[in-house]
Amino acid sequence: MDYMKDIKEIKLAFLGSGFMAQAMIRGIINAGTLPAEHVYAVNPVDPDTCVMLSEKYGIVAAMPEMLADADVIFFAIKPQTFPEACEMYAEHFTSDKVYLTIMAGVSCASVETATGGARVVRFMPNLALSVGKSATGFCLGRNSGEEEAALARALFGPLGEARELPEDMLSSVTALSGSGPAYFYYLCEALTAAAVGDGMDEETAQSLAVQTLIGTAALIEESGESPTEMRRRITSKKGTTEAGICALEAAGFFDCVREGYLAARRRSDELGKK
């Protein structure tokens, strides 16, 4: 199948209906990538969330036996639950389907083994895909090729930026853009707390911090210049921004961010080994 041309013809089933599945479904439906009736959500452990998604987006709240009708099955579950899911759905897995996965640390080879050597594409998106702004890395399994790469781009291209990488870089993507949104939220928390500690009311402090993040991201995207160059441009000699940057440097800001990145990467590797 030419997925870029015939994407609207496929039937896509999500195993799981948590935050990431909900974000992907919202993004796919809002972008018009697939008709709602071609999107299934399967979660016999928590069927109420599937019903909620059906009512909200018009998708199908499906039972496991409906997986037989799907062309593509998406593992949108936590990596720790992968073995349990394999047992639960084994009778519905056939090697003629394409299997997608967002399970951190779970290799393409593991999914291939569980699905009888099927074609596999592994993704690491972030929650911003629900608003069409995700930073997604993906890699192909050993039995996947250009058609599956086209499927990946057809699904995730409208949801932000999607880049193909070697699989050994997926843990790095996890640490960078997968966990990255939490780092920016944390920065907003810290800026808000600092302003509140200085006497500002919390609602105003949070609003200003969030809008600063939004505006800064928009400026970076629009300018096409590096963050380093843009930071230098607004850091006047002996000005307030330089004073703040110097204080962050003295406190080990770069080291703290690097340690957070490395910790997330190590955890991704650990999940894969388990």
List residues bridging with 61 in a β-sheet. 41
- From the number of C-beta atoms within 10 Å of its C-beta (0-12, 13-18, 19+), residue 244 rates as exposed
CA 127 – CA 267 distance, rounded (Å): 19
What per-residue confidence (pLDDT) applies to 199? 97
Q: In one letter, which amino acid is 204? A: T
CA 271 – CA 103 distance, rounded (Å): 9
Tens of each residue's pLDDT in the chain, 274 residues: 655 557 889 999 999 999 989 999 999 999 999 999 999 999 988 999 999 999 999 999 999 999 999 999 999 999 889 999 999 999 999 999 999 999 988 899 999 999 999 999 999 999 888 888 999 999 999 999 999 999 999 999 999 999 999 999 998 999 999 999 999 999 999 999 999 999 999 999 999 999 999 999 999 999 989 999 999 999 999 999 999 999 999 999 999 999 999 999 998 888 767 6
Beta strands in the chain (DSSP E): 12-15, 39-42, 60-62, 72-75, 98-101, 119-124, 134-140, 160-164
The tokens for 61 are 């709240």
Backbone angles phi, psi at 104, to 5 degrees: -60, 130
List residues bridging with 121 in a β-sheet. 100, 140
**CA dist 229 → 116, 162, 220 (Å):** 50, 25, 10
Which residues are within 8 A (CB) of 143 and not within 5 positions of it... i.e. 6 or more apart?
A: 112, 117, 118, 119, 120
CA 74 – CA 38 distance, rounded (Å): 13
Query: What does 30-76 look like in DSSP terms, one character per residue?
Result: HHTSS-GGGEEEE-TTSHHHHHHHHHHH--EEE-GGGGGG-SEEEE-
Query: Contact at 8 Å (CB) between 78 and 105?
Result: no
What per-residue confidence (pLDDT) applies to 7? 85
